[in-house]
A and B are shown apart, each in its own frame.
Chain A
Amino acid sequence: MERKTAASQLKTHGFFALAALMLWSCIAIAGPGRPAADGARLYVHYCAACHGERGRGGIGLPLSLPSFLAGVDDGYLRQTIRLGRPGRIMPAFPQLHGNQIDALVRYIRHWSGNRPVMLAAAGKPGNAVRGATLFSARCAICHGANGVGGEGTGVTLSRPRSQPIMAPALDNPGFLASASDRVIRTALVRGRTGTPMRSALKQGLSERDIDDLVAYVRSLQYQPPPRAAAPRDEGPDIVGVSPDGVTATVARLKEAVEAANMRLIRVQYLDQGFVPAGKENRKQVIVYSCDFGFLNTALQVDPRVGLFLPCRVTVLQHHGKVLVMSVNPKRLGTLFNDAALSRLCDQMYRKYRDIIEEATF
């Protein structure tokens, strides 16, 4: 009886120890706490991966660019951090408190030596219809028709780029909620030295033209927001059930991969490399393949696409059924906040689905 009680107590203590460890892990995952509003530390934690340690850009825009810092006020930076750019990679950071955002803004400002921001003078109410015509003629070549923005990510020398930075999406609800009319006007009046954005005045436009362009950009906020990601009710996998055994299914899968113009890379057991050679579970097989042309395109849209790589389909026997499955790119795509990548995920989804259907028909 005593032994049973002791065992029971040990079990209880063990349970609470495990619970405490899990709780601590959850708190740790939640990130930096409220009181520690150290801008440099927050920047490294949340921003540096994309914008660079010194704000020189990468996947994200070069925040330390003097012409950028001189042309946006703190309100723009705060709102951008808070709201992000839905569907344009830059995530929202709703988990950051006001003092943390202020610390980040101060840290970003230090790259300009904390020089005061001098925005262009406020303009007059403009004519959005006339602004639309001007926009099509002067701005759409970089910012896209209706201000949808350039494609691909920002500065990187890792891969060839058509432009040193990606033109911002002016129709993005995050941008429009962050940029005041004066911020937009400042960019038009002065341009952004170090980027393809040139001063509208130097291009021969008048103050009235600029007011009309501001009115047009402001009118874009009535456009429907871009689609950020696929619906979250998608399952985690695309799954088919094969009528054949594992070996025959793998053979059919290889044929289906090649029929889909994918390059077969390798076939291996799921636990290969984790157990001694010859001891693998032969009822669990992965088929790796790749469409390198598609991959190259996808990497230029978003270099984070590696999380989908290489294309792999798993064949696995479970409770007498042979399942053929891959990750569901539509579901995984919801992690990226990139509408352009979501479109590629739709293509990947169709390709995976067709291959799995062909292999299990």
Chain B
Amino acid sequence: MRRYRSLLGVLLLAAFSVATARAGALLMARVDLPFPEAMAQLQDSIVSHGYTISRIQRVDAGLRANGYTTAAYQIVFFAKPAEMRTLPSLDPQIAAYLPLQIVIFAERGHTLLLAANPGRIASFFPQHALQAHFVTWAHDMRAIFREVRHAGQ
């Protein structure tokens, strides 16, 4: 049984490596919704996948306050509370990548979503204990992007 488990583990890691190599380094989606509606959909979708939104960084407000012109440009930070508590203990260097973030910005009547593909960030952290989290994040983020995009169709 132990031999099968090891073999399956190797196969899983290989499949994940192939999948992440084939997946794009960045996740991007164009949403056919104005910014406020897309932002509302994004927050709903993040929460529906079990994450908590801790903060929305209003980059656009900061730029305007400093005299620059910009369209709506914000960043949504989110994570699962249990992961925020436990993951930095597994590898403190992952703390710099937490919470997770999705950039959302307006482009004419559309809205763009952007995130670093957790599948690619996984390669920065070789510890096996973290890999399952990256798989889940990649899966969830793709689903979130898909849901927000479909909301605009």
Whether A273 and B30, one on each chain, are in contact in the complex, defined by CB atoms closer than 8 angstroms, is: no
A39 CB to nearest chain B CB (Å): 17
- If A58-B30, A331-B124, A332-B116 touch, whether A325 touches B73 (CB-CB below 8 Å) is no
Whether B54 and A26, one on each chain, are in contact in the complex, defined by CB atoms closer than 8 angstroms, is: no
Interface residues of B in 114-153 (CB under 8 A from A): 114-117, 119-121, 124-125, 132, 135-136, 138-139, 142, 149
- If A58-B30, A274-B52, A303-B105 touch, whether A29 touches B139 (CB-CB below 8 Å) is yes
Q: How far is the CA of A307 from the CA of B104 in the complex (A)?
A: 10
A139 CB to nearest chain B CB (Å): 29
Asked whether any CB of chain B lies closer than 8 Å to the CB of A177, the reply is: no
Asked whether any CB of chain B lies closer than 8 Å to the CB of A52, the reply is: yes
- If A28-B142, A159-B70, A236-B125 touch, whether A19 touches B84 (CB-CB below 8 Å) is no
Whether A30 and B75, one on each chain, are in contact in the complex, defined by CB atoms closer than 8 angstroms, is: no
Whether A30 and B22, one on each chain, are in contact in the complex, defined by CB atoms closer than 8 angstroms, is: yes
Asked whether any CB of chain A lies closer than 8 Å to the CB of B47, the reply is: no
Whether A270 and B88, one on each chain, are in contact in the complex, defined by CB atoms closer than 8 angstroms, is: yes
Interface residues of A in 294-320 (CB under 8 A from B): 295-296, 299, 303-304, 306-307, 309-310, 312, 314, 316, 318
Whether B116 and A314, one on each chain, are in contact in the complex, defined by CB atoms closer than 8 angstroms, is: no
Residues of A within 8 A of B52 (CB): 273-274
Whether B12 and A274, one on each chain, are in contact in the complex, defined by CB atoms closer than 8 angstroms, is: no
Interface hub of A91, A274, A312 (most chain B Cβ within 10 A): A274
B64 CB to nearest chain A CB (Å): 10
Residues of A within 8 A of B92 (CB): 316, 318, 323, 325
Whether B68 and A292, one on each chain, are in contact in the complex, defined by CB atoms closer than 8 angstroms, is: yes
Give the interface SS of chain A, mostly helix, strand, loop or mixed.
Answer: mixed
Whether B103 and A304, one on each chain, are in contact in the complex, defined by CB atoms closer than 8 angstroms, is: yes
Whether A30 and B93, one on each chain, are in contact in the complex, defined by CB atoms closer than 8 angstroms, is: no
Asked whether any CB of chain A lies closer than 8 Å to the CB of B40, the reply is: no
Q: How far is the CA of A290 from the CA of B68 in the complex (A)?
A: 14
Whether A284 and B25, one on each chain, are in contact in the complex, defined by CB atoms closer than 8 angstroms, is: no
A262 CB to nearest chain B CB (Å): 12
Q: How far is the CA of A160 from the CA of B116 in the complex (A)?
A: 26
Q: Of all chain B residues, which has the CB nearest A307?
A: B116
Asked whether any CB of chain B lies closer than 8 Å to the CB of A15, the reply is: yes
Interface residues of A in 154-198 (CB under 8 A from B): 156-160
Q: Mark B63-107, 1 if CB is under 8 A from A, else 0.
A: 100101111010101010100110011001101111101010111
Q: How far is the CA of A299 from the CA of B111 in the complex (A)?
A: 16
- If A22-B132, A50-B28 touch, whether A314 touches B19 (CB-CB below 8 Å) is no
Residues of B within 8 A of A44 (CB): 149
Whether B70 and A158, one on each chain, are in contact in the complex, defined by CB atoms closer than 8 angstroms, is: yes
Whether A273 and B98, one on each chain, are in contact in the complex, defined by CB atoms closer than 8 angstroms, is: no
- If A29-B23, A49-B30, A52-B30 touch, whether A159 touches B69 (CB-CB below 8 Å) is yes
Residues of B within 8 A of A98 (CB): none
- If A273-B52, A274-B52, A335-B26 touch, whether A318 touches B88 (CB-CB below 8 Å) is yes
Residues of A within 8 A of B107 (CB): 58-59, 156-158
User: Which of B88, B93, B115 makes the CB contact (< 8 A) with A307?
Assistant: B115
Asked whether any CB of chain B lies closer than 8 Å to the CB of A53, the reply is: yes
- If A29-B20, A30-B19, A306-B73 touch, whether A19 touches B85 (CB-CB below 8 Å) is no
B23 CB to nearest chain A CB (Å): 5
Whether B16 and A91, one on each chain, are in contact in the complex, defined by CB atoms closer than 8 angstroms, is: no
Q: How far is the CA of A327 from the CA of B101 in the complex (A)?
A: 13
Task: Given contact pairs A284-B95, A310-B57, enumerate 8 new A-B contacts (beta carbons under 8 Å).
Answer: A15-B5, A28-B139, A53-B32, A156-B107, A158-B108, A236-B96, A306-B103, A309-B59
Q: List 24 A-B contacts (CB under 8 A).
A: A12-B1, A23-B12, A25-B136, A26-B12, A26-B18, A29-B135, A49-B29, A49-B113, A53-B30, A53-B32, A59-B107, A158-B105, A159-B70, A273-B77, A274-B84, A274-B99, A292-B62, A303-B112, A309-B57, A309-B75, A310-B75, A316-B95, A318-B88, A326-B96
- Sorted from nearest, which 6 A-B pairs have the closest CB atoms? A273-B54, A306-B103, A49-B28, A236-B124, A158-B71, A335-B25
